[in-house]
Amino acid sequence: MSVSRVPPIVTLTTDFGLMDHYVGTMKGVILSRCPDARLVDISHEIPPFSIFSAAYSIDQAAPYFPPGTVHLIVVDPGVGTARRALCAEALGQLFVAPDNGVLSLIAGRDAKLRARELANPELWLPSPSSTFHGRDIFAPAAAALASGSAKFEDVGPVVLDTEMLADLEPTQREPGVWRARILSIDRFGNAITNLKARAFPQIVSGRFAIETGTHSVNTFCRTFGEATDGVCFAFFGSSGYVELGMNRQSAADALGVAAGDAIELRI
């Protein structure tokens, strides 16, 4: 009995949106080189240039994909500069992305992450542009890896100093005070912090304050339904992080925060 080959999975995470041709063009490149690929869109609504949001999105999604998945991440404000293009191996999967910190949270999940520079021009499209590496370098490399025509070791030299985002872990400034960050804002306006819920169970008691600079959040709710209208509150999100939300309103708008912003937790 012949065993059918499982179609390879390639995911896409970008800040391109869907108004322009960029995402469709990258999919065309992938399907031209790996016709049986199953393409999965994680998100194309990452805020433009938001490496923090992209790092959070791929970190939340990747653990739920099977081994061998190829993840293509193109949030690349440094496109065309000296920043490197990477292929990383972690969680039994491959990650094709710019070397700008977008894989920082994945590296936190897998201490054995290995990275190589995407420096093999045989995997690129001919004459790559200086402004659309998603099409010309990342997509064809991801397709080659997914199809099996290239292996991880084929992409280029080993990289031991991948870029990492600063302040991804909360830092304790003094007893009871931590400096933290907003990792991402979701579609509902919930602000996801980098405060891990399991590390701060005291927040449930309500004896805390999360300072955003101009606002203070000091209410905890387990669900949106138990929240008072118009009040920002902290909750333990499905992300595993402490999140800031409002019932049927945007907490991010009310608090004036964006991905990457610094916050402070006082307990």
What pTM was estimated for this model as a whole?
A: 0.94
- Crossing angle of helices 139-147 and 22-33, in 10° steps, is 30
Question: 233-244: per-residue pLDDT in tens?
Answer: 999 999 999 999
- What pLDDT score does 206 carry? 82
CATH number of 9-159: 3.40.50.10790
Pairing verdict, β 114-117 and 171-174: unpaired
- What pLDDT score does 40 carry? 98
Please check whether residue 37 is in contact with residue 143, taking contact to mean a CB–CB distance below 8 angstroms.
yes
Q: What is the mean pLDDT of residues 248-258?
A: 96
Structurally, at CATH architecture level, domain 171-266 sits in Beta Barrel (2.40)
Domains 9-159 and 171-266 share a fold: no
Of the CA atoms within 13 Å of residue 245, those in its CB half-sphere come to 23
pLDDT band at 167 (very low <50, low <70, confident <90, very high): confident
The rounded Cα 13 to chain-centroid distance in angstroms is 8
CA–CA distance, 126 with 137 (Å, rounded to integer): 9
Question: 97-153: per-residue pLDDT in tens?
Answer: 999 999 999 999 999 999 999 999 999 999 999 999 999 999 999 999 999 999 999
Domain segments of the chain as ranges: 9-159, 171-266
